[in-house]
Chain A
Amino acid sequence: MKKVLKRIQASSLFQYCSSVKLAVPLMLVIGAVVSLGTFIESRYNADYAKLLVYNTVWFQTLLALLWLNIFCAALSRYPWKKHHTGFVITHLGLLTLLGGALLTKVYGIDGSLYVREGETSRTVFLPEKVIEVSNDYFFTKIKAPSTAKPLSEDHLSWVNKKLSPYIKIKKFYPFTEGGQGPSFSTEGDILSFNIKSPFFDQKVTLHSKELPERQMGPALFRWVTKTSPQQTTSQTKKQPHSLKSDMLIFQSPSGKVVEKVPLKKLPITIHGVKIELKKKYSHAVVVKNQITNENDQINPAIELRLTKEGKTYREILYSKFPGFSILKDSPLPFKLLYQAAGPNSPSPTQASETPLPKGPVVEFHTFPKKEVLFYKNGQLLKKQTFSLNQKIQMPWMNMILTPLYLGPMKDLKQQIRPISPTPKTDQLPPGAILVQAENQSFWLQEGQVKEITLQNGDPLQIYFGPNTIQLPFSVSLIKFYKKDYPGTQTAMSFESDVRINRTPQIIKISMNEPYKRDGYTLYQSSYDLGPPIVSIFSVNKDPGRPIKYLGSIILAIGIIIYIFMKSRFYKKWSSK
Chain B
Amino acid sequence: MKSFIFIFSLFITFPLLAGPNEEFLSLAQSIQDSPIEELPVQNNGRLKPFHSLARESILFINGRYQFEHKASAIQTYLALIIYPKSDQVEIINVRNKNIRAQLGSLPGNKKNHFSIKQLDKWGLMGRAAPLLDKEQRNKRSLEPEEKDLLELYNQYQLTKFIISGNHFLAALDFASLQGSQNHGQSPPKTLSLAKEYLRALASQSPNTQELAKQLIESSFNSPMPPLFEKQKKKIKIEVYYNKLRPFFIAALFLLFIGLSFFFKQAHPFYNTLLGKITLSIPLLILFLGFVARVYITGFAPVTNMYGTMIWVSFGVSLFSLILLYLYKSYYAVGSLWIGAGLTLILTENLPLILSPNMDPIVAVLRSNLWLTIHVLTIVISYAAFTITMILSNVALVRSLVRSDFSHSIYKEFSKLIYRMTQLGVFLLSVGIILGGVWADYSWGRFWGWDPKETWALIADIGYLAILHARYIGWLKPFGILLASPLAYLLVIMAWYGVNFILASGLHSYGFSSGGATMVGIFVATQLFLLLLAGANYWKKVKASSH
Establish whether residues B440 and A555, one from each chain, have CB atoms under 8 Å apart when the complex forms: no
Contacting chain B: which of A38-46, A130-138, A317-325, A408-416? Answer: A38-46
Assess the B363–A491 pair: CB atoms within 8 A: yes
Q: Is A27 an interface residue (CB 8 A)?
A: yes
Interface size class of A (residues with CB under 8 A): 35 or more
Q: Is the CB of B442 within 8 A of A512?
A: yes
- A431: B residues at CB distance < 8 A: none
B194 to nearest A CB, angstroms? 14
Q: Given A49-B449, A269-B176, do A560 and B426 touch, yes or no (CB 8 Å)? A: yes
CB distance from A344 to the nearest CB of B (A): 28
Report Cα–Cα, A312/B159, bound state, in Å. Answer: 12
Is the beta-carbon distance between A328 and B449 smaller than 8 angstroms? no
Given contacts A310-B158, A424-B138, A492-B366, contact A486 B228 (CB under 8 A): yes
Partner of A270, one of B42, B166, B180, B443: B180
The answer to the question of B137 belonging to the interface, with a C-beta cut-off of 8 Å to chain A, is yes
- Contacting residue for B133 out of A45, A328, A484, A540, CB 8 A: A328
Cβ–Cβ contact A523 & B449, under 8 A: no
Give the chain B neighbours of A20 by CB distance below 8 A.
468-469, 471-472
Partner of B42 from the list A42, A261, A310, A486 (CB cut-off 8 Å) is A486
Per-residue interface assignment for chain B, residues 407 to 443, with 1 indicating a CB less than 8 Å from any chain A CB and 0 otherwise: 0000000000001001101100110010011001111
How would residues 524 to 553 of chain A score, 1 for a CB under 8 Å from any chain B CB and 0 otherwise?
Answer: 010000000000001110100100110010
* A523 & B360 in contact (Cβ 8 Å cutoff): no
Is A485 a contact partner of B504 (Cβ separation < 8 A)?
no
Most chain B CB within 10 A, of A39, A110, A309, A514, is at A309
CB pair B183–A269 under 8 Å, yes or no, is yes
A559 x B425 contact (CB < 8 A) = yes
B532 CB, nearest partner CB in chain A, Å? 24
Determine whether the beta carbon of B177 is less than 8 Å from that of A486. yes
Chain A residue nearest to B432 (CB atoms) is A552
B503 beta carbon closer than 8 Å to chain A:
yes
Query: Do B46 and A485 touch (CB < 8 A)?
Result: yes
CA distance A484 to B493 in the complex (A): 33
B147 CB to closest chain A CB (Å) equals: 13
> Are A42 and B461 CB-contacts (below 8 A) given A269-B176, A525-B444, A555-B433?
no
Kindly list chain B residues whose C-beta atoms are within 8 Å of the C-beta of A38: 451, 454-455, 498, 502, 504-505
Contact A555 B447, beta carbon cutoff 8 Å: no
Do residues A486 and B504 form an inter-chain contact, with CB atoms below 8 A? no
> Is residue A566 within 8 Å, beta carbon to beta carbon, of the partner chain?
yes
Q: A21-B472, A24-B469, A487-B42 are in contact. Are A310 and B133 (CB under 8 A)?
A: no
Number of A-B contacts (CB under 8 A): 204
Overall SS of chain B's interface: helix
B527 on the A face (CB < 8 A):
no
A37 in contact (CB, < 8 A): yes
- Decide: B176 and A42 in contact? CB cutoff 8 A: no
> Which residues of chain B are within 8 angstroms of A37 by Cβ–Cβ distance?
449, 454
B contact residues around A381 at 8 Å (CB): none
Contacts of A198 in B (CB 8 A): 130
Which residue of A21, A27, A104, A559 is within 8 Å of B461 (Cβ)?
A27
- Inter-chain contact A41/B444, CB cutoff 8 Å: no
Q: What residue in chain A is nearest B136 (Cβ atoms)?
A: A328
User: Is A486 in contact with B227, judged by CB distance below 8 angstroms?
Assistant: yes
Whether B134 is near chain A, meaning CB under 8 Å from some CB there, is yes
Q: Which residues of B contact A199 (CB under 8 A)?
A: 130, 133-134
Q: Are B461 and A30 in contact (CB under 8 A)?
A: yes
A35–B453 Cα distance when bound, in Å, is: 11
Q: Is the CB of A31 within 8 A of B462?
A: yes
Contact residues of B between 345 and 391, Cβ < 8 Å to A? 360, 362-364, 366-367
Please tell me the size bucket of the interface on B. Answer: 35 or more
Beta-carbon contact of A490 and B45 below 8 Å: yes
Chain A residues positioned under 8 Å from B419 (CB to CB): 566
CA distance A263 to B511 in the complex (A): 42
Question: Judging by beta carbons under 8 Å apart, are A521 and B503 in contact?
Answer: no
Residues 1-35 (chain A) with a chain B CB within 8 angstroms = 20-21, 23-24, 27-28, 30-31, 34-35
State A311–B132 Cα separation when bound (angstroms).
12
- CB neighbours (8 Å) of A514 from chain B are 441-442, 444
Decide if B429 touches A559 in the complex (CB within 8 Å): yes
A309, B46: Cα distance in complex, Å:
13
Q: Which residue of B lies closest to A539 (CB)?
A: B444
Q: Is the CB of B447 within 8 A of A101?
A: yes
Q: Contact: A265 with B184, CB < 8 Å?
A: yes
Are the CB atoms of A556 and B429 closer together than 8 Å?
yes
Measured CB to CB, the nearest residue on chain B to A43 is B504
**B444 adjacent to A34 (CB under 8 Å):** no
Q: Out of B43, B154, B430, B445, name the residue touching A110 (CB < 8 Å).
A: B445
CB distance from A283 to the nearest CB of B (A): 25
A492→B426 CA distance, assembly (Å):
34
Tell me, yes or no, whether B474 is within 8 Å of chain A by CB. Answer: yes
The residue from A110, A307, A485, A555 contacting B444, defined by CB atoms under 8 A apart? A110
User: Are B505 and A46 in contact, with the CB atoms below 8 A?
Assistant: yes
Q: Is the CB of B157 within 8 A of A312?
A: yes
Residues of A within 8 A of B203 (CB): none
Which of B360, B363, B440, B472 is the most central at the interface, judged by chain A CB atoms within 10 Å of its CB? B363
Asked whether, in the complex, the Cβ of B170 is within 8 Å of the Cβ of A274, the reply is yes
Say whether B542 faces chain A, with CB atoms less than 8 Å apart: no
| B465 and A24 form a contact (CB under 8 A) | yes
Chain A residues with CB under 8 A of B326 = 568
* A540: min CB distance to chain B, Å: 4
B464 within 8 A of A: yes
B514 on the interface (CB 8 Å rule)?
Answer: no
Closest to B426 in A: A559
Cβ contact of B426, chosen from A30, A525, A563, cutoff 8 A? A563
**Quick one: which of A28, A270, A538 has the most chain B CB within 10 A?**
A270
**Contacting residues, chain B, for A538 (C-beta < 8 A):** 443-445
Q: Report A-chain residues with C-beta under 8 Å of the C-beta of B167.
A: 310
The 6 A-B residue pairs with the shortest CB-CB distance in the complex, in nearest-first order: A485-B45, A540-B444, A42-B502, A199-B130, A38-B451, A424-B140
18 A-B residue contacts at CB 8 Å? A31-B462, A34-B449, A199-B133, A259-B180, A307-B161, A309-B170, A328-B136, A424-B138, A486-B177, A486-B225, A487-B43, A488-B45, A492-B360, A538-B443, A542-B444, A545-B446, A556-B433, A559-B429
